[in-house]
Amino acid sequence: MYLSSATNRITVTWGNYGKSYSVALYLVRQLTSSELLQRLKTIGVKHPELCKALVKEKLRLDPDSEIATTGVRVSLICPLVKMRLSVPCRAETCAHLQCFDAVFYLQMNEKKPTWMCPVCDKPAPYDQLIIDGLLSKILSECEDADEIEYLVDGSWCPIRAEKERSCSPQGTILVLGPSDANGLLPTPSVNGSGALGSTGGGGPASSVENGKPGADVVDLTLDSSSSSEDEEEEEEDEDEDEEGPRPKRRCPFQKGLVPAC
């Protein structure tokens, strides 16, 4: 019915079938989710000792069962919004100990009333909702865990997630120097024997001579001999049409060595 200046007319029609009928008219006021939550906190809180007795009953040994349950895990994360519980709530008709957040449950049913439990998907109307006093106490005492486990004696213990272990393989760490980081080869140390930097003729072996820095070290691991030979090969290519291809000239230096002069 609409509360306005318009007239609300109600017509009730029934048949004469020998049965009795009754008609009732109620004047109601729609309550918000905040008002329903406040009422639930006032009259719907279940004492922690009663909740503890319920845990013991759930974990009580069944003589007809071959499997003994020593504990049950309960998440401190709301299944509706995946956030930590603030007001743990469930219906008295639910068989599970897992709770959902009453704040978000009432807000969702205020927009779209379904009143279905998000854990077991069974009816959970407002009149059957209770606030778990034991889990509320646990939430205030256990702030560094997202899951707990109830034991057979009604006690509980937190379950903390293990830290993720690194899966990267263990290997040797190579520390690059300044020259290596720039893509250059390290300058080898030259002793006085003249093993590097001469072709056997006893040339100077020091890295600095007459105030001039020593020659750069060239990587000769490739098949080509030197850059000067490449220039000669370019000149020889011009005469290949007349004289034909010439055989490759042998490198006069030892492989891997270059004169320092």
pLDDT bin (cut points 50, 70, 90) of residue 197 is: very low
Q: Which among 33, 151, 59, 45 has a CA at the least distance from the CA of 92?
A: 45
Residue whose pair of structure tokens reads 């009754």 in the numeric block: 22
**Distance of alpha carbon 71 from alpha carbon 8, whole angstroms:** 59
Q: Which residue has the higher pLDDT, 128 or 4?
A: 128
**pLDDT above 70: percentage of residues in the chain:** 58
Mean pLDDT of 101-115: 94
pLDDT digits (tens, 9 = 90+) for 2-32: 677 888 888 888 887 788 888 888 888 889 9
Taking the domains of the chain in order of start, what are their residue ranges? Answer: 33-58+70-159
pLDDT digits (tens, 9 = 90+) for 132-152: 999 999 999 998 899 999 998
What local confidence, expressed as pLDDT, does residue 213 receive? 58
Q: Tell the CATH superfamily of the 33-58+70-159 domain.
A: Zinc/RING finger domain, C3HC4 (zinc finger) (3.30.40.10)
**Distance of alpha carbon 59 from alpha carbon 214, whole angstroms:** 84
Average pLDDT, the chain: 76
Q: Which two tokens stand for residue 20?
A: 């009795």
Encode 70-109: b = buried (16+ Cβ within 10 Å), e = exposed.
eebebebebeebeeebebbbbbeebeebbbbbbbbbbbbb
**Distance of alpha carbon 194 from alpha carbon 209, whole angstroms:** 14
What is the pTM (predicted TM-score) of this model? 0.55
- Angle, vertex CA 148, rays to CA 145 and CA 151, nearest 5: 150
